Each structure stands twice: as C-alpha cells, then as structure tokens.
Amino acid sequence: DKDITILGIETTCDETSAAILKSGRDLVSNVVHTQIDIHKKYCGVVPELASRAHAVKVAEVVKEALGNHKIDLVAFASGPGLPGGLMVGRVAAEAVSALKNVPIIGVNHLEGHLFACEFDAKEGKIAADKQLKFPLIALIVSGGHTELWYVKNYGDYKMLGRTRDDAAGEAFDKVAKLLGLGYPGGPVVAKEALKGNPEAIKFPRPMMKGTFEFSFSGIKTAVSYYLRDHKDIKKEDVCASFQAAMVETLVAKTFQAVKKYKVKNVAVGGGVAANELLKESMVKRGQKEGVDVSFVPRALSSDNGAMIALAGYKKFMFAGKFNANIRINPNMRI
Ligand code: KG4
Ligand code: ZN
C-alpha cells in the first residue's frame, strides 16, 4: 500500500549511498559516502577504484541507513552507471531483500534525479511534498549525463536530446582541471566566477541548431585555446565567462523544448543543478514565460539513496512492478 517503507541504494558512480523513505514522503535517513578523496587526484572518476570503494563501503552505509527500521521493499539503481558499481548495488540489494524477506525493485538512476525535485528541505527535515506537475520538460545535468526529456506523465517519457560528447558537469570538471582549481570542478568554478566578469571573454554557445542535442567539448576546447594564447589571464573572468556560456546554452535548449511541447512546467535535477547561476537564470526565464521551474534541493542534487527510494516508490505505486527486472544495465535509457 501507499504507506510502505523503502530502502534505496545508490552505487552508480562515485557515491555509495542508502536511504529510508516512508510513505513515499518522509526521508528517515540518507547516508552518503562520497569517493571524492579517491578520485580527486585524477580529476575524474576512475571506474576500477570506484567499484572497489563501493564494495568496501556498501554494507556499512546500508546498515547505518537501515538502523532498526522495518522495510517493505528494497530499491536500487540498476543503471545507467559504471558496471562495477551497479553490480555492487545489486548484490547489496539482493542480500537485504533475502535477509528481510522483502521484494526488490531496480530503478533508473536518472529517473531518481528527476524525482529528487519533489523533495523539499524545511526546518532541517526533508520530505517529498513538492509533487511534480505533468506534462513537463526535464533537464538532467550531472557529471555523467546531460539529457532533455519530455515527460507527459509518470512513466511516459520521451528523450529529446542528450550530449554528443561531454556532460555539463564533466565540462566544469575539465575546465577546473585546466585552471588548476581542483575536483569536482563545478563548485570551485562557480565560486571563482562570483569574482569575475561573465562578459570578459566570449566563449561559444553551442546550440546544435534544429536538435535538442548538446555538445560541450567545444566550449572546453575554447577555454583551453584561450589559456594557451593568453599570458596574463584572470581565472575569475575565465570561470565567469565559461559558466555564462554553459548556463545560457542549458537555459536556451530547455526553453526551446518548453515552446515546442507547450508545457508549463520544468524540472532540473543532477549535480549541476546545484549551480546558483543556472537556478537563477532558469527561474527568471520561467517567470518571464509563465512556466513553473522546479529544482532539486541542493542537499539532494548529487547522487543519493533518497532519490532512488523515491523513484522506487513511484514505480511500485504507478507501475506495480517489483521483483521483475533487476538486471543491471550500464547504458539504461529512460
Ligand atoms: O549528479 P552528480 O553528483 O554525479 C553524477 O551522477 O555524475 O554530479 C556531479 C557533477 C560534477 O561534474 C560536478 O562538477 C557538478 O556535478 N557540480 C556542479 C556544481 N556542483 C556540482 N556543476 C556546476 N556548478 C555547481 N555548483
Ligand atoms: Zn547521478
């Protein structure tokens, strides 16, 4: 029934996480163990190191999230993601399911990022009480993915476009690396950008005309040429100008889709949704066009078990599917 308690497990990339969600609404626990310290010296996620770290941490993380709670269902992210991490998540989910004698459900990680927009953080408590309104255009922007979807209703998705090369977060990470700012790049580039002039350098806005596809490797290359050709650069101006180009492109594409599909709602999820300029620009454009823009709360923008538990709840409630397909799929589509 609708008051079930769900354990959500997330291991698709570089966060090992587990959470307990009650009645599809109340977040009881959400334990996140990030592997940033392991990957930062490479300025990117190293798959083999990620799998091992998930294997080392997953039992501890799941145990901590579970506490003494009685659960009715286990949901885990079965794709898309790194194969090693997905396998660890599946084994952990199967172990809990067998021990507690409860069904198991595999969910799409990106659907998790979408439904994370329903969470709201109020007075230190997080609850999923900001129901998404359909139809909507969803922009999922993270370190591994940049996708635009037309979401007609729950479970009724149409992929409009995705990135042909780098994901948006990946572009932030690579530019941070070029500037020697560290990893992950998004937060440091955004911080540096606060001190800079977004109009100092004109980086390209790759619109991929006539499609909803994205391409960000050109912006990154433009930044590297700029750094090669200029001696006295101001890092803050490079960051501000780069960020402006990224944000302008993401907002323009999203609202092209809004126009074409005549929707009144937009939802933005994924790690890059933590970007303040992106949020400000999306909300402003939304107000101008009478479109409601919903962002994932900052605390749940990165990978986490809470969003997997919520996506599992939706699947269970609307599709009534469980114990069906728990096969992992690194290239899973929505
Ligand atoms: O969703 P996420 O935690 O992991 C994936 O599923 O990929 O996203 C991580 C990505 C990183 O590339 C990081 O640089 C980016 O999100 N990111 C940001 C910001 N905070 C994190 N990008 C831009 N601005 C930010 N404030
Ligand atoms: Zn993610």
Average pLDDT across the chain, whole number: 95
Who's near 158: CB < 8 A, 6+ residues apart? 149, 150, 151, 152
Ligand nearest to the CA of residue 296, numbered in listed order: 1
- If pLDDT is split at 50, 70 and 90, which confidence band does 206 have? confident
Q: In this predicted model, what pLDDT tens digit does every residue of 30-68 receive, in sequence order?
A: 999 999 999 998 888 999 999 999 999 999 999 999 999
Q: Which atom of ligand 1 is nearest to the CA of 12?
A: 6
Place 323 in a pLDDT band, splitting at 50, 70 and 90: low
* Cα torsion 287, 291, 292, 297: sign: negative
Q: What is the pLDDT averaged over residues 317-328?
A: 76
255-269, 283-297, 307-321: the lowest-pLDDT one: 307-321
pLDDT of 69: 96
Mean pLDDT value across residues 130-157: 96
User: How is domain 136-295 classified at the CATH fold level?
Assistant: Nucleotidyltransferase; domain 5 (3.30.420)
Which CATH class for the 5-119+300-319 domain? alpha beta
Number of the ligand 1 atom closest to the C-alpha atom of 145: 7
What confidence tier does 90 reach under pLDDT thresholds 50, 70, 90?
very high
80 lines ligand 1 (CB under 6 A): no
pTM: 0.96
The model's confidence at residue 118, banded by pLDDT at 50, 70 and 90, is very high
Which residues contact residue 251 at a Cβ distance below 8 angstroms, ignoring those fewer than 6 apart? Answer: 278, 281, 282, 285
Q: Specify the pLDDT at position 318.
A: 83
Tell whether residue 143 is among the known ligand binding residues.
Answer: yes
Q: What is the dihedral of CA 271, 274, 275, 277, to 10 degrees?
A: 140
d(C-alpha 180, C-alpha 183), whole Å:
9
Asked if residue 113 belongs to a known ligand binding site, the reply is yes
ipTM surpasses cut 0.95: yes
pLDDT higher than threshold 90 for residue 121: no
Q: Quick one: 34 exposed, middle or buried, by C-beta within 10 A (0-12, 13-18, 19+)?
A: middle
Q: Is 13 in the pocket of ligand 1 (CB under 6 A)?
A: yes
- Give the per-residue pLDDT at 256: 96
Report the DSSP beta bridge partners of residue 76: 9, 106
Per-residue confidence band for 321, with pLDDT thresholds at 50, 70 and 90: low
Domain boundaries, the chain: 5-119+300-319, 136-295
What distance, in Å, lies between the first and last C-alpha atoms of the chain? 25
Q: Answer whether 5-119+300-319 and 136-295 agree in fold.
A: yes
Q: Give 214's DSSP letter.
A: B
Q: Percent of the chain, pLDDT > 90?
A: 91
* Ligand 1 binding pocket includes 274 (Cβ within 6 Å): yes
Angle between helix 185-193 and helix 168-178 axes, rounded to 10 deg: 70
Q: Is 183 in the pocket of ligand 1 (CB under 6 A)?
A: no
Q: Which tens digit of pLDDT belongs to each residue from 16-28? A: 999 999 999 999 9
Q: Write the pLDDT tens digit of every residue in 145-166.
A: 999 999 999 989 999 999 999 9
pLDDT at 137: 98
Query: Ligand 1: which of 302, 308, 332 to mutate, judged by most atoms within 8 Å of the beta carbon?
Result: 302
Count of positions (residues) in the chain? 334
